[in-house]
Structure 1
Amino acid sequence: MISMEFRTLELPLARPFAISRGVRTAVTVVRVTLTEGSLVAMGECTPTAHYQESAESVCEQLAVIKPQVEAGLTREALQQALPVGSARNALDCAMWRLDAAKQGKTVWQLLDMQAPQSVVTAETLSLDTLDNMAKAAANAVSRGAKLLKIKLDREQIIEKVAAIRHAAPHTTLVIDANEAWLGLDLESLFHALHEFNIAMIEQPLPAGKDKDLVRCLHPIPICADESCHQRSDIAGLRDRYEMINIKLDKCGGLTEALAMAAEAKALGLRLMVGCMLGSSLAMEAALPVAVQAERVDLDGPIWLAQDSQPALRYEHGEVWL
């Protein structure tokens, strides 16, 4: 007999986190707990207002589906019972962990995959003044960061990238515009950024308004984030993006994320795995997809004042299992 519980938690951040859409000082997560006998499995999601989600809406979805889960709803049936999004993610990940525990295995063993010792992950540079972003880059490099993800809006794009590249001359740099570059001369901007050896640019234009990328020559690979939520989105993105960013909270869990990775590879698109702000509980669930990706951004826990336990270890630009 399975029992299901869920609760909302507000996790304070150690420092403000800013992107082009705003600043956060805390993150609200919803955690699902499944219990069967002595076995306990959990999943975590981060509802996102940009995707018309809230902790309240997620909890409403979970309350509706709770009787079905406790009656034996399978992980496969869950994919149709809930839409893509945060609620399904938390439940799907908890189900994966419970299924593995019932067989005396880890999720890695259930997937017939070898768990790595560590995975290189981006460290995000929050949107800030030029000087503060350059200082943050230098600090990250001093701690061994191998990959930096630069949050930018429309202001001082080249100047900030130049300052960060000066502070991190040998570090891989990627840029995340969070849909902020509509109306800019993208082709000129992309070529200017190419001079700083930028490895990737994520979502320069708003989802649904990214058709200009079809005709825009870009020497830097462009990655779809807000434009790509689930498997059915991927085929329509091949004419404007070279990569897709898979996030468990967007796609609705590990089950869909694994399917997205397979679909993207089949269609010749490269992979990034990202995250919302959240704890190690959420990041650990994404690692079986992260090991298949070219770029990984699972640094959510390093922004928290206090992580969940057991916590992943973040050192020298890598997340250690």
Structure 2
Amino acid sequence: MKLIVKEYILKLKHTFTISRESIDVQPSLIVELQSNGISGYGEATSNPYYNITVPMMMADLNNLRPIIEACENETPEEFWQLIHPYLKQNMFALCALDLAYTDLYARKKGKKLYEYWNYTTDNNPLTDYTIGIASIEKMVSKMKELPWPIYKIKLGTHEDIAIVTELRKHTDAIFRIDANCGWGIEETINNAVELKKLGVEFLEQPMKADNWEAHREVFKYSVLPIIADESCIIEEDVAKCHNHFHGVNIKLVKCGGLTPGKRMIEQAKQLGLKTMVGCMTESSVGISAIAHLLPQLDYVDMDGALLLAEDIANGVTIKEGKIYYAEGNGTGVTLK
């Protein structure tokens, strides 16, 4: 098996702002694994919040090149268990590698990934489309630019209720709110009351990740469901979220790929938590991997490639929230 790693700089259509940062480009690592004329692809984007850069990911994978390239017939689960001890400190790199290996494995079996997992896609959820923080006028403009059935609205400003009130005047779409750790306890509880009136479905990670007492308080009193994101990074975090959140948003990049992501989904279901998978502004390489988990999810946020000025790959296509799988096996990804 041959390992190929390459950095891409993904240019965004618009400046993307959340409560803690703004970006115009997104550096991304693409991993390709080749075996017997077949290629599998994986992706992980850089992230300053988690202190992860593409050069760091590339260095860690190149250091493991002899071990990675010696693998051939292991199942994705066996491969992940083999590599995990070496990449415990860089789950982003592990994610890109796991996606590529899982994709390659399914292609070698001659199956789409969801077929390999024996999933049926009849009741897949629709994906939301994210509106980043900007002036109210700009946020309305971005929403009108792409009519959509579900919007995720980034908040964490001094005029959050005013923003949603104005956006509501222009659409009947479902709203989801992501404050990216930008609120406090009373603010969250009070905002939930007003936002419920405005047709909001749930709140995602309103408070700081490690403030578990605050999460417990809001869990008890919020009139809207609360979904964990920054509080749910790896497999061990799912159990912590029980009785502190109503659901978990699992990011493949943060947890180390599809293999642990599937286990986290199963654990969340056993605990009665709602299941969601989110993206980290990936291209269609990462987004297409997420698509094959849809049959197991209540919600999904896989609009990353839609936010790009130019995609680097072909894979799943998304129209008005509905996901259409690519023709090929595995994740169906091809690089442009």
Common fold by TM > 0.5: yes
Amino acid of the structure 1 residue aligned with 2:207 = L
Give the drift of 1:115: 4.4
Amino acid of the structure 2 residue aligned with 1:28 = P
Which residue matches 2:179? 177
**Which of 257, 261, 273 in structure 2 is aligned with 1:257?**
261
Give the aligned CA root-mean-square deviation in angstroms. Answer: 1.8
**Which of 185-194 and 248-257 deviates more?**
185-194
Give the drift of 1:269: 0.4
| 1:108-187 matched pairs, under 5 angstroms | 108-115=114-121, 119-141=125-147, 145-168=148-171, 170-182=172-184, 185-187=187-189
TM-score (norm. length: structure 2): 0.89
**Which of 300, 318, 321 in structure 1 is aligned with 2:304?**
300
5+ residue gaps, structure 1? none
* Residues 128-155 of structure 1, C-alpha deviations (whole Å, 9 max, x = no match): 11122123223333xxx11100011132
Contact (CA 8 Å) 1:29, 1:278: kept in 2 or not?
A: yes
Amino acid of the structure 2 residue aligned with 1:15 = H
Contact (CA 8 Å) 2:291, 2:323: kept in 1 or not?
A: no
Distance 1:64 1:292 in 2: 35
Which residue matches 1:98? 104
Give the drift of 1:110: 1.7
Amino acid of the structure 2 residue aligned with 1:231 = E
Amino acid of the structure 2 residue aligned with 1:211 = E
Distance 1:281 1:236 in 2: 31
Distance 1:108 1:162 in 2: 39
Corresponding residue SS for 2:97: helix
- Are 2:231 and 1:232 equivalent residues in the alignment? no
Corresponding residue SS for 1:154: coil
Contact (CA 8 Å) 2:121, 2:294: kept in 1 or not?
A: no
Identity %: 28
5+ residue gaps, structure 2? 326-336
Distance 2:119 2:194 in 1: 41
Which residue matches 1:42? 41
Contact (CA 8 Å) 1:180, 1:206: kept in 2 or not?
A: yes
Give the drift of 1:175: 0.2
Amino acid of the structure 2 residue aligned with 1:25 = D
Amino acid of the structure 2 residue aligned with 1:135 = S
Contact (CA 8 Å) 1:201, 1:222: kept in 2 or not?
A: yes
Q: 1:279 to 1:153 in 2, by over 3 A?
A: same
Which residue matches 2:2? 3
Contact (CA 8 Å) 1:224, 1:245: kept in 2 or not?
A: yes
Distance 2:39 2:48 in 1: 30
* Residues 243-293 of structure 1, C-alpha deviations (whole Å, 9 max, x = no match): 100111011100011000000000110011100011111011112323321
Contact (CA 8 Å) 2:125, 2:299: kept in 1 or not?
A: no
Give the drift of 1:77: 1.8
Q: Give the number of aligned pairs.
A: 316
Q: 1:118 to 1:215 in 2, by over 3 A?
A: closer
TM-score (norm. length: structure 1): 0.93
Distance 1:45 1:202 in 2: 22
Amino acid of the structure 2 residue aligned with 1:81 = Y
**Which of 14-23 and 260-269 deviates more?**
14-23
- Are 2:268 and 1:286 equivalent residues in the alignment? no
Distance 2:319 2:135 in 1: 26
**Which of 20-29 and 306-315 deviates more?**
306-315
**Which of 76, 79, 82 in structure 1 is aligned with 2:84?**
79
Contact (CA 8 Å) 2:26, 2:46: kept in 1 or not?
A: no
Contact (CA 8 Å) 1:135, 1:167: kept in 2 or not?
A: no
Q: 1:215 to 1:75 in 2, by over 3 A?
A: closer
Amino acid of the structure 1 residue aligned with 2:85 = Q
**Which of 310-319 and 2-11 deviates more?**
310-319
Q: 1:117 to 1:3 in 2, by over 3 A?
A: farther
Distance 1:208 1:25 in 2: 29
Contact (CA 8 Å) 2:13, 2:309: kept in 1 or not?
A: yes
**Which of 189, 200, 204 in structure 1 is aligned with 2:202?**
200
